[in-house]
Structure 1
Amino acid sequence: MSKKLFIVALVLMLVSNHSIGQKKYKADWESLKTYEIPQWYKDAKFGIFIHWGPTTVPANNAEWYGFHMWNEGEVDALGNPSKKASSAYNFHKENFGDPAEYGYTKFIPEFKAENFDPKEWIDLFVEAGAKYVVPVGEHCDGFAMYNSKITRWNSVEMGPKKDIVGELFSEARKQGLKVGTSSHYAYGWHWWTYKDKFETTNPELRDFYWDAHDRWEPASKEWVKNWYNRTMDMMTQYQPDLLWFDLGFCEPAYEDARKKILANYYNQGLKNDQEVVLNYKNIQWKPVPDGAAVLDLESGKLDRIRKDVWQTDMSLGGWRWGYCEPYEMRDASNYIQDLIDIVSKNGVLLLNVAPNKHGVIPDDQKAILRDIGGWLKVNGEGIYESVPFTVFGQGPTNAEMRIHANIHEKGFTSDDFRYTQNEQNIYAFWMKADDRKVISLDAFGSENRIINDAISKVSLLGYDSEINWIQQKNELVIQLPANFSSKNPPCFKIELEAMPSDIFNTKK
């Protein structure tokens, strides 16, 4: 090689290395707001959340057991109880003894997960129609469900003696699913009750419970550093496609660390040629500006179409996320209705399942997931890869704009419809079919000007024969097939004629 060519090659190599070493994202909001939500996530629409951990041993008060089990009833200045002991405290005393003698860490050896089968789980989630899966990485109790390099309190060294997150990631990626993991650990600062008689103040368990402090004081700098290090460990080891953060992440004490996490995660994605998603919540504080990450609404929905894609995390068990008894659920049709409503407003549904302490997803949960999957096999073309229509729907029912609102909703009526669109196809979902033989869709009248291209065909997904329809001035009228019935929302596909290739019909 000539000296001139060598110099050129050296310069190119240095420039290339410099470009690789450069970080696109900086830990400031101006830089982070340049983030773009990846197309895979916009198209996915439906994922599975998995809440699992040591709280499934007592199987009481769901994942909040560790928060409530110590509450024996506070006492006022005169020695009078100001409230009764919590139900978890009473349950604990009856089944395990006094919390002063049997602390939370005693559950960890009993969390054996001896029947955990990652392939069986992922097979089920694929059958359910999910496109991504998000096992909890570490909940508020701080027990890591992965092979942590930071804490000994993890599922490889204790309890199951398995890398739960790692095994699920491996199987999910084999089957073509995107993978994410969640961190609830920031809220762990507020989790424990510190009294000298409880193991929460035992110096030998300090690396699990941390230092005694007032529950509601802001997180200390040392704690935030600990949270940051653990999050970075989980993120860099497993390189998830999605990172999900619970409400503690919102607090002002995490502001600097929060920006660093976003920048590091997005830059890791760039380095790996991996399109990544970060979910955050708006609870009390707004931790992330619009556009810098993906907003997640806990058990809530929007009452309108949002320009930016958003997500609802919702549990099969309502307010219960981790497995407990009873674990009360709704009919599969209700979750399908929620999915449709969310997607019609540019949202994505992350639906939680709750395995028991043995690593088994109970049959009643499996049945719901399979019903959802069966419905998606027929109607999924109106869900996956869709975008909102000009209006999200029609009818009297709409969501309340508040957290946990779906738990209190009364449900949809037979007058409610929701719409989605994929190019020249519009999908109209009848949220609760009844025995009527004719329905009217008021968004598709010939003179309403909501659609500009003529309707060429109307069909009912999953029904092979043609159906009768007529477009009138103010509505599209569809006649249902004889003897039609459906326990889950049926979907009508409205095909429009092709858009003009040249809007002015310009001659060549």
Structure 2
Amino acid sequence: MSIINDKKERIQWFQDARFGMFIHWGLYSIPARGEWVRSSERISKEYYEQYFEEFNPVNYNPKLWAKAAKEAGMKYAVMTAKHHDGFCLFDSKLTDYKSTNTKLHRDFIKEFLDAFRAEGLKVGLYYSLLDWYHEDYLAYADRHHPMRGNEAYKNKSHDFDRYLDYMHGQIRELCTNYGDIDIMWFDFSYDDMAGEKWRATELVNMVRSLQPGIILDNRLEASGESYGSIKTLNPSIYSGDFASPEQIIPPEGVTDCEGNPIPWEACITMNNHWGYCSTDKLYKPAKQIIRKLVECVSKNGNLLLNVGPNALGEFPVEASQLLSEIGLWMKENNKGIYNCKMSQFVKPEWGYYTKNKNLLYAHIFEGNIGALPLIGLKDKVKKARLLSDGSEIKFCNGWNTKEFEKDLFINFGPIDTATYPIPNHIDTVVELELL
């Protein structure tokens, strides 16, 4: 069976789920200036060590996180097992730089996996290919390392293969000691640090031998700004199962070179940071996030929404409130998200369509003057129902719609030609049963 056919089988649950939670958490939650703080401020290993000594998230309770994710309508979650700073949230036997050596002596990844599985969610682990703590990771000449351009590191020797042995060993631990892992989310490739620079073929073969059903992102050869060979008709063995655009929703989705859709997942932040940033209060409103989730699904994509817990192990209040608001909408309208994909119909001006078999979901963001047009759907729809409560929506036959013979019209009040507000200002979803 080809690489492409293999992908289609194991990716199906992911494409049905459509909505997941990303969790960026680690030592960087203490300085609280984002997960790249050590690089952006060129912080030395010695100075950063204070956060390792201090890390004491006494309020960490992943059961609460899992419950919040489930109530928000999310079907899976991905958490940072190791970010670029090299600190491990799991009990690796290959390093002392890990959560079990901090004040609480706990394996936070094991607790995360147990809690989210208990809520029925699929689970994934994020693992950074970069490592600013390991002595054998490139420093002086690397454009991301905190010590880049630092003359004290110019002649420092590195054995990159020794780092790769370490990195592969940690992935083996994660794939061996923690039960079934549904997603491995690698991050990221750049410049010549891509593909076989990571010994990617060897790594993928090892992961798939230990976790046959796992799905992988595309960042062993790409990043959030590129897709790699997953877009080609001859993808590499390490091309991944889905593309991972970052902080953007592709205008036309993601397709291969012949225009065929390929699985993708847009990862976005709630504010403007992945890791906790105490001063970043620019949280996106629930309305925007819900509409962007709909947009992703309408283009055959998923949305992975990030939360950056604080140093105590808590979700920020703003994040918890957003998840609750999203959950209220999802509770009534999730049929227009789960198991849905792009429809064959042209995107309407008032919103988007998603589709599941013979059910077409009209996601209406904006009301119309008079009846709402469903362009090209005349004689193609058996019935219409408001998804939130199942109530019937009658087709309009107003005198002012006679000219539009190919179009179907609906309205949210008794008079066909009158103007009524849409029932839900965030997104009113109408389920259309196609003939």
- The TM-score by the shorter chain falls in which range? 0.7 to 0.9
Instruction: Report what 2:182 is aligned to.
Output: 241
Residue 443 of structure 1 and its aligned partner are, at CA, apart by 4.2
1:35 aligns with 2:7: yes
Instruction: Report what 1:502 is aligned to.
Output: none
Moved more, 290-299 or 479-488: 479-488
The 5 Å alignment of 1:329-478 reads 329-391=283-345, 393-395=347-349, 415=350, 417-430=351-364, 432-434=365-367, 436-446=369-379, 454-470=380-396, 473-478=405-410
Structure 2: which 5+ runs fail to align? Answer: 138-143, 256-260, 398-403, 414-419
Check whether the contact 1:183–1:246 (CA below 8 A) recurs between aligned residues.
Answer: yes
221, 232, 238: which is aligned to 2:172? 232
For residues 22-71 of structure 1, the C-alpha deviation after alignment (integer angstroms, 9 at most, x for no partner) is: xx9xxxxx7687433332111110010100111111112x1111112237
Instruction: Report what 1:303 is aligned to.
Output: 251
Check whether the contact 2:61–2:313 (CA below 8 A) recurs between aligned residues.
Answer: yes
118, 122, 128: which is aligned to 2:62? 118
For residues 181-240 of structure 1, the C-alpha deviation after alignment (integer angstroms, 9 at most, x for no partner) is: 10123264432216889xxx7xxxxxxxxxx4599x999333333322222222222241
Instruction: Report what 1:489 is aligned to.
Output: 427
Residue 269 of structure 1 and its aligned partner are, at CA, apart by 2.8
Check whether the contact 2:24–2:79 (CA below 8 A) recurs between aligned residues.
Answer: yes
Residue 438 of structure 1 and its aligned partner are, at CA, apart by 2.5
1:154 aligns with 2:98: yes
Residue 354 of structure 1 and its aligned partner are, at CA, apart by 1.1
Check whether the contact 1:108–1:159 (CA below 8 A) recurs between aligned residues.
Answer: no
Q: What is the rounded CA distance, in whole Å, between the counterparts of 1:142 and 1:380 in structure 2?
A: 38
Q: What is the rounded CA distance, in whole Å, between the counterparts of 2:159 and 2:346 in structure 1?
A: 41
1:180 aligns with 2:121: no
Check whether the contact 1:187–1:247 (CA below 8 A) recurs between aligned residues.
Answer: no
AA aligned opposite 2:39: F
Moved more, 176-185 or 240-249: 240-249
SS in 2 for 1:429: strand
Shift in alpha-carbon separation, 1:122–1:213, aligned structure 2, 3 A: farther
Shift in alpha-carbon separation, 1:483–1:296, aligned structure 2, 3 A: closer
Check whether the contact 1:141–1:191 (CA below 8 A) recurs between aligned residues.
Answer: no
User: Structure 1 vs Structure 2: percent identity of aligned residues?
Assistant: 26
SS in 2 for 1:264: helix
The 5 Å alignment of 1:84-95 reads none
CA RMSD of aligned residues (A): 2.9
Shift in alpha-carbon separation, 1:325–1:443, aligned structure 2, 3 A: farther
Check whether the contact 1:131–1:178 (CA below 8 A) recurs between aligned residues.
Answer: yes
For these two proteins, the number of residue pairs brought into alignment is 393
For residues 377-416 of structure 1, the C-alpha deviation after alignment (integer angstroms, 9 at most, x for no partner) is: 1111011011221146233xxxxxxxxxxxxxxxxxxx3x
TM-score (norm 1): 0.71
Instruction: Report what 1:134 is aligned to.
Output: 78
SS in 2 for 1:366: helix
Structure 1: which 5+ runs fail to align? Answer: 1-23, 25-29, 72-98, 202-211, 396-414, 447-453, 498-508
SS in 2 for 1:360: coil
AA aligned opposite 1:183: Y
1:323 aligns with 2:276: yes
Instruction: Report what 1:48 is aligned to.
Output: 21
1:65 aligns with 2:19: no
Check whether the contact 2:422–2:428 (CA below 8 A) recurs between aligned residues.
Answer: no
TM-score (norm 2): 0.82
